[in-house]
């Protein structure tokens, strides 16, 4: 099991500096969160905007870090999109670099695009085919999502997610904050999804706040980890808020080290 951290943690910090911070804190592995823009304003991983995948890989190689996984930033099916796989995911795969694991958000769409309540029934075979077609290249994981106003989000029930992953011959990435957002018992979810969980996005939650720094919320993360099958777990990736102190990078690095130690403790 690899302990890694999402590069999206510092999405407003230049990518090369992000890698330097992570390396300085003693991490060996990272999850690359791809740049993605949806609609008119929603963006992810802004520090990778306009950077070609081959240049991303070069910077990672130069940093001495290793890739645990690549996170497709999409998942929103909009504007007539016919695939759940973002176009730049294929660009990353075409670079010839070893990507041990690919993580995808559960496909979801704006309510006005559904036509009727049967949208997922019609689209799930497309999503399954898209994802299972990649499974010969790497570990393919679909991530549980939260509910969002104005969107149809399927597979909220862990049993439904298990059924979809099993039938598609792919695996699952459990995001602890997303289950907290849904009010789902993440320990029970871990038991249900145990046989197919190959990756985890770890963060805490408290008082209606999500993706809280690990150990500073109310989630039983140790109990959650104890219900996973660590013999098949590829990576536990920190996806929690870690403040970047521009004028005190040593403080940022100490927080990164603290988060790393926490994962070691709850995973033991």
The least confident of 5-19, 80-94, 102-116 is 102-116
The whole-number average pLDDT for the span 234-257 is 97
- The reported pTM is 0.95
Angstrom CA distances, 263 to 14, 95, 107, 212, 235, stand at 25, 31, 29, 14, 11
The least confident of 71-80, 96-105, 167-176 is 71-80
The whole-number average pLDDT for the span 64-85 is 84
Kindly report the CATH number assigned to the domain that includes residue 257.
3.20.20.150
Tell me which residue of 152, 176, 177 sits closest to 75, measured CA to CA.
152
Question: DSSP secondary structure string, 61-92?
Answer: HHHT-EEEEEE----B--TT---SS-HHHHHH
Supply the DSSP symbol for 15.
Answer: H
Rounded CA gap, 239 and 236, in Å?
Answer: 9
pLDDT at 194: 98
Expressed as residue numbers, the domain containing 43 is 2-267
Domain count across the chain: 1
pLDDT at 89: 94
Burial class of residue 6, CB neighbours in 10 A (0-12, 13-18, 19+):
buried
Q: Which two tokens stand for residue 157?
A: 């029930």
């Amino acid at each position: 099991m690899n302990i890694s951290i999402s590069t999206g943690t510092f999405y407003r910090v230049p990518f090369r500096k992000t890698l330097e911070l992570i390396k300085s804190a003693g991490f060996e592995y990272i999850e690359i969160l791809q740049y993605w823009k949806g609609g008119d304003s929603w963006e992810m991983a802004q520090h990778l905007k306009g950077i070609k995948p081959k240049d991303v890989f070069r910077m990672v190689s130069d940093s001495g870090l290793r890739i645990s996984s690549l996170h497709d930033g999409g998942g929103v099916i909009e504007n007539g999109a016919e695939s759940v796989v973002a176009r730049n995911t294929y660009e990353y795969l075409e670079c010839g670099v070893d990507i041990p694991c690919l993580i995808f958000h559960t496909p979801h769409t704006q309510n006005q695009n559904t036509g009727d309540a049967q949208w997922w029934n019609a689209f799930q075979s497309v999503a399954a085919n898209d994802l299972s077609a990649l499974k010969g290249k790497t570990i393919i994981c679909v991530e549980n999502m939260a509910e969002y106003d104005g969107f149809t989000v399927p597979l909220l029930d862990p049993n439904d997610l298990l059924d979809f992953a099993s039938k598609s011959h792919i695996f699952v990435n459990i995001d602890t904050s997303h289950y907290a957002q849904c009010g789902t018992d993440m320990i029970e979810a871990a038991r249900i999804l145990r046989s197919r969980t190959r990756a985890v996005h770890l963060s805490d939650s408290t008082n209606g706040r999500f993706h809280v720094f690990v150990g500073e919320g109310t989630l039983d993360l140790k109990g959650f980890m104890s219900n996973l099958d660590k013999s098949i777990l590829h990576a536990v990736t920190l996806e929690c808020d870690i403040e970047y102190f521009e004028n005190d990078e040593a403080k940022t690095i100490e927080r990164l080290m603290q988060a790393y130690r926490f994962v070691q403790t709850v995973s033991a």
